[in-house]
Amino acid sequence: MLLQLIIKYGRIKSVLFITFSAIVASAIATCSIFYFSGRPMPVINIYLTIIIPAVIASLASWRTIGMILKIHSLEQKIRKLANYDSLTALMSRSWFINRAEAVYQLMLRNQSTLAFIYIDIDDFKKINDTFTHAGGDAVLKTFGSILLKQIRKSDISGRLGGEEFALLLADTDSKGAGYFAEKIRDAIENTAASYQGKSISYTASIGVSVFDQSNRVNLDKLIAQADIALYSAKNSGKNCVVKWNPGIHGENRDVMLRV
């Protein structure tokens, strides 16, 4: 509660409020002592009643509030390091899955649609071998910025592994998911990373699965479907989008046409 008030009003206003409260409390206590003792209050006591708590309270509260804010800042940084990938600024695998489950349950209750998009950077090992791991990191940073620019506020994005990424799109049907996935694929193909003055072009393969009335599966199954679609995209020549399609035997996949 105290931390929330400090964050809301800031360090200076909080110190002023504490100092003023200390002065008022000191004045009330001092006046009460002299009143009930039946003795008049000397002028010096009036000044001391104001000056002493003003100095002590302001210095002590400034230091204490500063420590509280510093600890809060460190906690925020630690939480961010735990929940977000430092290289791409996308959610970590565990935090992504955690948030994805919450979004899935919400879409389930609202009887809405939900799209899962699995993305894998093509030939990433070759990029690392050619440009070193630092060059590969430059590609990952560029890739992360592309996703963050493209997604909506309601979407969540995460890094699931080395060069594997995922998006979860709330209230998105099959058509919308296919269009968005193709938009991401095109942005990746046309946005080269820069490393030591060199331009690194790369592509990505994408698998899409959609939770809707015809495919009411749990989140794990939805992710597995997108993973299969991604594998199919890799086998289809890479740099393409493949959407999961159960078909007759639950194994058919169809390659999305370019938008």
Q: What is the CATH number of the domain that holds 180?
A: 3.30.70.270
The ranges of the chain with pLDDT < 70 are 1-3, 5-6, 9, 46-47, 71-82, 247-259
Strand partners for 121: 204
Residue 248, in any domain of the structure: yes
Residue 87 falls inside a structural domain: no
Assigned domain for 88 exists: no
| Whole-structure pTM value | 0.69
**Residue 253 confidence (pLDDT):** 41
Active-site entry in 163, 164, 182, 189: 163
CA distances from 75 to 5, 13, 14, 70, 103 (A): 17, 23, 21, 9, 25
| Same-domain status, 122 and 171 | yes
Per-state percent for the chain, helix, strand, coil, to nearest 5: 60, 15, 25
Tell me which residue of 116, 119, 95, 93 sits closest to 220, measured CA to CA.
116
The C-alpha angle with vertex 234 and arms to 230 and 235, in degrees rounded to 5, equals 115
Helix intervals (H) in 84-199: 93-109, 124-150, 174-189
**The one-letter amino acid at 124:** F
Burial class (CB in 10 A: 0-12, 13-18, 19+), 14: buried
What is the Cβ-side half-sphere exposure of residue 55, based on CA atoms within 13 angstroms?
Answer: 5
Active site residue 163: yes
Decide if 121 is inside a domain: yes
Are residue 102 and residue 41 in the same domain, yes or no? no
User: Residue 170 belongs to what domain range?
Assistant: 93-255
Q: Are 131 and 233 in the same domain?
A: yes
3-state secondary structure of 1: coil
* 97 and 126 share one domain: yes
Is the same domain home to 99 and 17?
A: no
Q: Which helix (H) or strand (E) holds 231?
A: helix 219-235
Instruction: Provide the domain count of the chain.
Output: 2
